[in-house]
């Protein structure tokens, strides 16, 4: 690691610890040339994940887009920012753990809906109504009926 003060190319690690969010390692280093200390962060590099949209175009996976959709679905619902962040992190982790380089918007949407269903039924229905683009009342009612059946089966 090159020293930011003297550009010396040799340093030793004095201390290592994970960051608060546990996504990277903070390393405190000391330059062997000038003895000054500096901090570096080591983070796992993710392979870019592409999302295949409905029109078959591809774009980079964006947790922010998921977050925005969930925030809209949870508007005026008793859902905390932390719960939203947990869903976004969970969906992002599931997407990367799928070991695929490309996922469809449908696959990602289903992941989000599954998590919302567990958290808040109204938010789930809101998200599903936009995501599944219900065009008429019967298709919307079918989804509600299915939700009621699933809920009844869970309680058995």
pLDDT digits (tens, 9 = 90+) for 6-19: 999 999 999 999 98
Q: What is the pLDDT of residues 104-155, one digit of tens each?
A: 999 999 999 999 999 998 999 899 888 777 777 888 788 788 878 887 887 7
Q: Give the DSSP per-residue string, the chain.
A: ---TTT--S-EEEEEEEE-TTSSEEEEEEEETTT--EEEEEEEPPPPP-EEE-TTS-EEE--HHHHHHHHHHHTTTSS--HHHHHHHHHHHHHHHHHTT-SEEEHHHHHHHHHHHHHHH-HHHHHHHHHHHTT--SHHHHHHHHHHHHHHHHHHH-
Query: What backbone torsions phi and psi does residue 114 show, to the nearest 5 degrees?
Result: -60, -45
The two three-digit tokens of residue 34, written as one number: 């000038």
């Amino acid at each position: 690691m090159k020293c930011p003060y003297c550009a010396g190319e040799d340093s030793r690690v004095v201390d290592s610890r994970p960051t608060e969010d546990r996504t990277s390692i903070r390393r405190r280093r000391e330059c062997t040339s000038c003895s000054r200390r500096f901090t570096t962060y080591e983070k796992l590099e993710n392979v870019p994940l592409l999302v295949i949209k409905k029109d078959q175009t591809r774009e980079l996976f964006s947790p922010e887009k998921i977050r925005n959709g969930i925030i809209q679905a949870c508007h005026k619902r008793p859902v905390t920012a932390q719960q939203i962040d947990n869903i976004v992190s969970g969906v992002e982790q599931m997407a990367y753990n799928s070991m695929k380089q490309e996922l469809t918007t449908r696959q990602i949407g289903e992941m989000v809906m599954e998590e919302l269903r567990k958290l808040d039924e109204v938010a789930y229905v809101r998200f599903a109504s936009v995501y599944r683009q219900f065009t008429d009342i019967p298709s919307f009612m079918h989804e509600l009926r299915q939700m009621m059946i699933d809920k009844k089966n869970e309680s058995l």
